[in-house]
Structure 1
Amino acid sequence: MSREFPIGLTPPDWLVRNLQPQQAPLNRPAIARAAVAMALPLAIGLATGHTAYGALASMGALSGVIGDTADAYRMRILNIAIPQFFGAVGVTLGAAVYGHGWYAVATLTGIALVSGMISTIGAVASVSGLLLLLNSVIGAGLPLPGAWWLAPVLMSGGGLLVLLLALLAWPLRSGVPERSAVAKTYRTVADLLATCGDDPTAAYDAARQAVTQSLNQSYDLVLARRARHHGRSPELTRLLAQLNAITPVVEAAPAVHQSGQPLPPQIRETVRHLAQAVETGYTGPIGLDLPAPTGETTRAIDHALRHAAEVVTAPDVDPRGIDDRLGRPAALRIRTARAARNVLLSSGSWRYGLRLAVCIGLAQILVSTVPVARSYWVALTITFVLKPDFGSVFSRALLRALGTVAGLVIAAAVLSAVPRGWWDVLVLLLLAPLIPALTPRGYGYQTMAITPVILLLSDVLNHQGTALLLPRLVDSLIGCGIALVAGYLLWPESWHTRVGDRLAEAVADTATYVESAFGKSEAGTVTAGAEVDPAARARMRRRLYRDLSVIRTEFQRALTEPPPTGRLAAGWLPLVVAVERIVDATTAARVRVKHGAPSPSPAEVTQVALQLRELSKGVRESEVLVEVRTDLTGPAESVLEPLRQEVAAARAIASPH
C-alpha cells in the first residue's frame, strides 16, 4: 500500500524548480583552463615570495573563468578582455575611496547606477558592468597590497591568462565552433523530422523548440564573427549559405506533421549525413537515397533536401544575396552603438540602474554605521543577486543563501584541515574546475563552487582561517535580505510576469506573418496575387520563432517565482503553445501552396488576421479575452482550415466561455 506525504510536507513547485539542477554537458576544456588559470598565479606568487600578489591575480582569473562561456574564439576575446578593462577601472576607483566613509558610499552608489544601466546593452556589456561594480566593491572594502596601479594590473592579468589559455588552440581550431554549431543545427532538424506525424504532439513541440534554439545559436555565432571580419570570408559565407539551406526543410516540417504521416527513415538519415559533411567541410558528390515524393508535403521535403545537399557539398558559394536574406551583419555593430546611445533615454535602463544603486547605497550606509565584519561581502552579494539581466531576483537570493551555506561547509573543511602554503595550490587545482562544471547546473551550484575558492584566496590575503566563515554567512544573508526588500518587493515590476505583454506582441506579429505568407499587406488588407519577398518572409518567420523562444524563457523564469507570480505565469503556457502552433500552421499552409495546393482567397486571409489581432488586443488589455464577434469559418478543403482550427483553439484557451 502506497503512502502519501501530508500536503504540508510537500515542497511547492516553485521551490522544486529552483533547486532542480539543469542538464548540461561538461565543458572539459573550460574545466582544465579554470584549474590552470587560478592555480598558476598563486603558485608563482608562492615561488617568488609574493603570495598576496598571486592571490590577487587568482581573483582576477576567477572573473575570467566566470566569463569563459563563449563558443567562438572571437567572442571569447570580447567576453573576457573587455570586462577586464572595466574591472581594472572598478578596482582603481574602489581603492581610491577605501576607508573614506561617505565618499565610498557615494562612489559605489554611482558606480552601481552605471553598472545597472549598461547591463541592458548586451551580454558583453552586462559582464562588463558586473565586473566594474564587483571590483570596485573589492577595492573599497579590502586593503590591497602594493602601489595603486598594482592591483588592477594583477587582477586584469589573471583574467587575461584565462583568455590566453582559451586562445591557444585558435590556430588549429579556427572556425570549428561555428561549423560544429551549424552541424548541430542539421542534427536537431533530423530529430525534428523523426517526430513529424507521430503522436504525442509533445515530442514534436520539444524537437521544434530545440531547432529554434540551435538556429538562434548558430546564426548568432556566425553573424557575430562575420560582422567583425574584415572583408568577405568564404568560410563564413559558406556557413551562412548552409544555414539558409536548412531553413526550407524546417519550414516543411509543420506541413509533414500536420499530415499525420511519418517520414521514411531515409529522410532523417540524409539530414544527418549532411550534418557530417558540414562538420568535416566535405565538398564533392554525395549520394541521396530519397524515396519518391507522393504529395505536396513530401515534394516540399524532397525539394528542400536536394537544395540543401547542393549547397552543403558545393565547392564554391555565391556570396551575393546572403546579406540581404539574413539582414546585413553590419547591423550588429549599428545595433550595439544605437543601444549604447539610447541608454540615457531608456526608462528601463534607469529603473534597473536605480534599483541596483539603491541597494548598494543601503548596503554601504549599513556597513558604514554598524560594525560588520568583512563588510564588503554585503555589497558583493547584492551585486550578484540583483543584476537585472540575470533572471529572477527572488530565485537568485534564495539560491545564493543556500549555495553559500553549502559552500561554507566545503570551505570549513579546507580552512581547518589544509595548511597554508603550497597545499593551497593543490586545493585550487581541485576546487577551481568545479566552477565551470557546476555553473551550467544553476546559480545555487555556482555559488557553492565559488564560495570556498573566494574564502581560500581571502585567507591567503588576511590569514584569518575559519574566522572567515561566520562573517561570510552573516554578510551574505544581509545582502540577500537587502536585495529582496529594496530590490524586489518594493518594485512591483519585478514580481509581475511579462509573459502576457510579450505574447500579445507575438500574436500581432503572427497576424502580419499570415498576411505576408499569402499576399501583400497594405493598410490591413491583403492584395491577392502580390508576392512578398521570400527573404523578408523567412526573416519574419525566424524572428517570430525567436520571440516565442524568448517568451518561453521568460515563462520558465516566472515559474520559479513564489505565488502569485508563478501561479499566474503557469496559466499562460497553453496560449504560448497555441501561438507556436498557429505559426506552424501558417508555415505549413504556405509550403502546401508553394507545392501545388490552391491558394486561399484574400477574404480568408483577412479573416484569420483579424481574429489574431483581436486575440492580441484581448491578451494585452485583460487577463480574459473579450468576446470575438468575427465568424471564423471557411471552406473545409482550404489550406487555411488547420490554421483556422488552431486560431479557434487559441481563442478558446483565452476565453472564459
Structure 2
Amino acid sequence: MADRKRADERGRQGRLAPPEWLIGGLRPAPTPIPWPAVARAAIALAAPLAVGMATGQSAYGALASMGALSGVIGDTADAYRMRIFNIAVPQLYGAIGVTVGSLVFGHGWLAVGALTLVALVSGMISSIGAVASVSGLLLLLNAVVGAGLPMPGPWWKAPLLLTLGGLFVLLLSLLAWPLRRTEPERDAVAGTYRAVAAAIEAAATDAYDTRRQAVTNDLNTAYDLILGRRAREHGRRGELVRLSAQLNVLIPIVEAAPAVHLRGWGVDPAIPSAVRQLADAVDEGRTGTVEPELPEPTTPAERALDSALRYAFAVVHHPDPDHTNIDDRLGRPAALRIRFRRAARNVLLSGASWRYGLRLALCIGLAQVLVSVVPVERSYWVALTIVFVLKPDFGSVFARALMRAIGTAGGLVVAAAVLAEVPRGWWDVPVMLVLAALIPAFSAKGYAFQTAAITPVILLLSDVLNHQGFNLVMPRLWDSLIGCAIALVAGYLLWPESWHTRIGARLAEAVSATADYVEYAFGSEDDRAERVRRRRRLYRDLSTVRSEFQRALTEPPPMGARAAAWWPLVVAVERIVDATTAARVRVNHGAPWPAAGEAVEVAVQLRELADGLRRSSRLVGVRVALAGPEEGVLAPLRQEVRAARAIASPGG
C-alpha cells in the first residue's frame, strides 16, 4: 500500500512538472566559458563608451558600443580568416541597415513599408550560410534601430560609428594572428585525434555512440577550417599541407573504430594512448621517427586498427608530407564567384527561402503597423524582439519565443538595478565592462541566458542615447511580450510547416543515402577514396538530421512528441552506417567477402524503410524479410537493420 501511495505521488508530481520541451532550454549547457571572448567583449564595449565620455560625445560612444555588440555576437569562428568574414561582412550589411532605417525615421507608413521589405530580404538571404545569416540579422536589426531611435546627423555618421565599433572587435580578435596563424586549425586536428582516442576507449561501453558523435562533429569542424582556408590561399602552404595530411590519415583509424566496437569487447589501453600521443605530436608540431608500442593484432578489426595507427605515426611525424598525396575528403570548395552564383540562385528560386522571408516580413510589418496605430513609446523594441525570435535558421520559433520572454525578464531585473542605482556618467564604463563580459559567458549556456545578458547592455546603451533611466524597464518588458506574441501567432501558428514537421522526409533521405553507401561499399567497384568521401558526406548529413531532430524535440506536441518517438531510429541509422564501415574494414583485413546479393538485400530493406518514412507521418511497418548467414561479415549489419525495422514498426 505504501509503495502504491509513493507511486501515485510520483505520478502526480510528474503531471505537475513542466514538460521537457519547455524546461530543456532553461538548463545551462555544460560548455566551458570562452575566457578570451569574455575579455574581448568587455574591452570592445567599454572602451568606445569611455572614449565618448572623455570627448564629451557619449552618444557617439554608445553607437560605437552598439556596433561592437554586433561584432561580439558574430565573433563565433575559431579560425582567424573566418573571423574576418564573420565580423567584417555583417558589419557592412549592418551599416546599410542603419542607413535605411535612419532615412525613414519619423516617416510613418514609409517606415512600415521599408522595414517590411528589409525583413523580406533578411529572411531570404539567411538560407545562404552562417555569414549570410548574421549579415541578414544585422541588416534588419540595425534598420529597426535606425527607424526607432534618432541618430546624429549627417546621415553617414551613425553607420560609420556602428561599423567602427564592429571593426574594433575584429581588431581585438586578430591581435594574436601573427603569433597563432594556424593555431585554430592545429587545435582542431589535435582535438579530433583526442575525440577518436576517447571513442576507441569507450568501444565496449554504452558511451561509444556519444563519443562517436563527438568524433563526427570534430571531423566536420576540422575539415571546414582547413579546406575553407586552403580555398582562399593560392598554392599549397607547407603547414596546411601537413595538417591536411594529418587529418586525412586519421580516417582509417576512424573507420576501424566501429569494427572494434561491434566486436563487443574492449581494447588494450595502449591503443587509445597511442592515439593521444599522435594528438600531442600534432599539437606540438613534433617530427622524427617514432615507433608506437602496440599489442599484437589477432582479428581483422585489430589488424585494421594496428595498420591505421602505424601509418598515422609515419605521416604525423614526417617533417615534409607528400603534397601530391593529399586527398580532400569532401572536395575543395568551389571558387568564390561560383559559390556566389549558386547562393543567389538558391535564394531567388528556393521556396523555403521565400517562405522564411515572408514570415519575417509579415511579423515585422504587423509590428510596425501596430506601433504606428497604437502609441508605443520607443516602439523599436517590439520589432527587435521579433528579429531575434523569428530568425528562421536560429531554431524553434516556439521555444525561442518562450526563452526570449524568460531571458528578457531576467535581464530586466539586472537592468532595473543598474538604471536605478548607478548614476549616469563615468560609472557607466565599469558597469559596461562587467555586463559586456557576461555576454559570451552566458551565450555559451543557451539562448535564454544570452538574452538575459544582452538585455541590460542594450538598455544601458539606449539610456545613454535618450536619457530615460529607470522608465525604460517596464515598457521594454511589455514590448518584448508583444513581440513574442506576434512571432508566435503570425510567425508560427499561421504556418502549418511550423507544426507539421518534415523530419520524417529528412530521415528518409538519410536512410536512402545509407542504402546507396551499403551497395557501393560491397559493389564491384573498389575506389577507396570515393567510398571514404561517401561515408564522410553521409556522416555529415546524419549530423544535420540529428540537429534537426534535436531542434524538433524542443517543439510542443505533436511535433516534439513525434520527434521523440522517431529519435531512436536516427540513432539506429547511424549504427547501420557504422556496421557497414566495420564490415568493409574487416573484409579489407582478412575477413571473407560476403556472398553475392547480401548487400543488395540489405539495401532493398533500407529503401523500403525510406519509402515508408516518406509516405507516413507516423512510425511505419517494414515487411521485407532479411536473412543471411549469422556468422558472415554482414551479420552485424543485418542485426542493426533488424533493430531499425523493429523501431520503425513497434507493433509489427
- Shorter-chain TM range is over 0.9
Amino acid at match of 1:227: A
Q: Confirm whether residue 210 of structure 1 aligns to residue 214 of structure 2.
A: yes
Counterparts of 1:15 and 1:107 in 2: how far apart (Å)?
A: 35
TM superposition shift of 1:223: 1.0
Give the equivalent residue in structure 1 for 2:246: 242
Distance 1:627 1:44, change over 3 A: closer
TM superposition shift of 1:626: 5.7
Q: Confirm whether residue 618 of structure 1 aligns to residue 622 of structure 2.
A: no
| Alignment map for 1:552-591 (pairs within 5 Å) | 552-591=546-585
Q: Confirm whether residue 70 of structure 1 aligns to residue 70 of structure 2.
A: no
Secondary structure of residue in 1 paired with 2:222: helix
Q: Is the 8 A contact 1:416 1:465 kept in 2?
A: yes
Q: Is the 8 A contact 2:227 2:328 kept in 1?
A: no
Counterparts of 1:306 and 1:273 in 2: how far apart (Å)?
A: 12
Counterparts of 1:620 and 1:176 in 2: how far apart (Å)?
A: 44
Amino acid at match of 1:434: L
Secondary structure of residue in 1 paired with 2:229: helix
Q: Confirm whether residue 300 of structure 1 aligns to residue 292 of structure 2.
A: no
Q: Confirm whether residue 254 of structure 1 aligns to residue 258 of structure 2.
A: yes
Secondary structure of residue in 2 paired with 1:287: coil
Give the equivalent residue in structure 2 for 1:275: 279
Counterparts of 1:50 and 1:646 in 2: how far apart (Å)?
A: 67
| Alignment map for 1:12-91 (pairs within 5 Å) | 12-91=19-98
Counterparts of 2:373 and 2:520 in 1: how far apart (Å)?
A: 63
Amino acid at match of 1:435: I
Counterparts of 1:246 and 1:409 in 2: how far apart (Å)?
A: 50
Q: Confirm whether residue 405 of structure 1 aligns to residue 412 of structure 2.
A: no
Counterparts of 1:59 and 1:149 in 2: how far apart (Å)?
A: 16
Counterparts of 2:345 and 2:550 in 1: how far apart (Å)?
A: 31
Counterparts of 1:582 and 1:7 in 2: how far apart (Å)?
A: 35
Give the equivalent residue in structure 2 for 1:395: 399
TM superposition shift of 1:333: 6.4
Q: What do the CA deviations read for 1:465-524 (whole angstroms, capped 9, x no partner)?
A: 0000111011111100000000000001112333211110111001110011111xxxxx
Q: Is the 8 A contact 2:566 2:619 kept in 1?
A: no
TM superposition shift of 1:368: 0.7
Q: Which of 509, 512, 517 in structure 2 is aligned with 1:513?
A: 517
Q: Is the 8 A contact 1:323 1:329 kept in 2?
A: no
Q: Confirm whether residue 135 of structure 1 aligns to residue 142 of structure 2.
A: yes
TM superposition shift of 1:342: 2.1
Q: What do the CA deviations read for 1:248-303 (whole angstroms, capped 9, x no partner)?
A: 11111111111112110000000000000001111112231111111111100000
Q: Is the 8 A contact 1:618 1:624 kept in 2?
A: no
Distance 1:314 1:87, change over 3 A: same
Secondary structure of residue in 2 paired with 1:650: helix
Q: Confirm whether residue 632 of structure 1 aligns to residue 626 of structure 2.
A: yes
Q: Is the 8 A contact 2:84 2:170 kept in 1?
A: yes
Give the equivalent residue in structure 2 for 1:428: 432
Secondary structure of residue in 2 paired with 1:288: coil
Q: Which of 108, 113, 116 in structure 2 is aligned with 1:106?
A: 113
Q: Is the 8 A contact 2:629 2:635 kept in 1?
A: yes
Secondary structure of residue in 2 paired with 1:432: helix
Amino acid at match of 2:589: H
Give the equivalent residue in structure 2 for 1:375: 379
Counterparts of 1:506 and 1:589 in 2: how far apart (Å)?
A: 20
Amino acid at match of 2:179: L
Give the equivalent residue in structure 2 for 1:604: 598
Secondary structure of residue in 1 paired with 2:629: coil
RMSD of equivalent CA atoms: 1.4
Give the equivalent residue in structure 1 for 2:230: 226
TM superposition shift of 1:323: 4.6
Amino acid at match of 1:595: H
TM superposition shift of 1:642: 1.1
Give the equivalent residue in structure 2 for 1:338: 342
Q: Confirm whether residue 502 of structure 1 aligns to residue 506 of structure 2.
A: yes
Counterparts of 2:290 and 2:549 in 1: how far apart (Å)?
A: 43
Distance 1:571 1:285, change over 3 A: same
Q: Confirm whether residue 549 of structure 1 aligns to residue 553 of structure 2.
A: no
Q: What do the CA deviations read for 1:112-138 (whole angstroms, capped 9, x no partner)?
A: 000000000000000000000000001
Counterparts of 1:624 and 1:372 in 2: how far apart (Å)?
A: 46
Counterparts of 2:297 and 2:14 in 1: how far apart (Å)?
A: 56
Give the equivalent residue in structure 2 for 1:9: 16
TM superposition shift of 1:624: 4.9
Counterparts of 2:620 and 2:262 in 1: how far apart (Å)?
A: 30
Q: Which of 323, 335, 339 in structure 2 is aligned with 1:319?
A: 323
Counterparts of 1:73 and 1:382 in 2: how far apart (Å)?
A: 31
Q: Is the 8 A contact 1:58 1:158 kept in 2?
A: yes
Amino acid at match of 1:567: A
Q: Is the 8 A contact 2:140 2:387 kept in 1?
A: yes
Give the equivalent residue in structure 2 for 1:156: 163
Q: Is the 8 A contact 2:621 2:645 kept in 1?
A: no
TM superposition shift of 1:230: 2.3
Q: What do the CA deviations read for 1:160-197 (whole angstroms, capped 9, x no partner)?
A: 0000000010000110010001000000000001011x
Identity %: 69
Distance 1:362 1:626, change over 3 A: closer
Secondary structure of residue in 2 paired with 1:597: coil
Q: Is the 8 A contact 1:241 1:311 kept in 2?
A: yes
Counterparts of 1:439 and 1:627 in 2: how far apart (Å)?
A: 43
TM superposition shift of 1:620: 1.2
**Residue segments in structure 1 that go unaligned for 5+ positions in a row:** 520-529
**Residue segments in structure 2 that go unaligned for 5+ positions in a row:** none
Give the equivalent residue in structure 2 for 1:522: none
Amino acid at match of 1:556: Q
Q: Is the 8 A contact 1:326 1:535 kept in 2?
A: no
Q: Confirm whether residue 177 of structure 1 aligns to residue 180 of structure 2.
A: no
Counterparts of 1:296 and 1:518 in 2: how far apart (Å)?
A: 17
Q: What TM-score, normalized by structure 1, do the two folds share?
A: 0.96
Q: Confirm whether residue 537 of structure 1 aligns to residue 544 of structure 2.
A: no
Q: Is the 8 A contact 1:504 1:617 kept in 2?
A: yes
Secondary structure of residue in 1 paired with 2:179: helix
Q: Is the 8 A contact 1:498 1:554 kept in 2?
A: no
Q: Is the 8 A contact 2:258 2:582 kept in 1?
A: yes
Q: Is the 8 A contact 2:399 2:554 kept in 1?
A: yes
Q: How many residues align?
A: 644
Give the equivalent residue in structure 2 for 1:468: 472
| Alignment map for 1:429-508 (pairs within 5 Å) | 429-508=433-512
TM superposition shift of 1:531: 2.5
Counterparts of 2:346 and 2:568 in 1: how far apart (Å)?
A: 36
Q: Is the 8 A contact 1:224 1:332 kept in 2?
A: no
Distance 1:53 1:179, change over 3 A: same
Q: What TM-score, normalized by structure 2, do the two folds share?
A: 0.97
Q: Confirm whether residue 356 of structure 1 aligns to residue 360 of structure 2.
A: yes
Q: Is the 8 A contact 1:615 1:625 kept in 2?
A: no
Q: Is the 8 A contact 2:622 2:648 kept in 1?
A: no
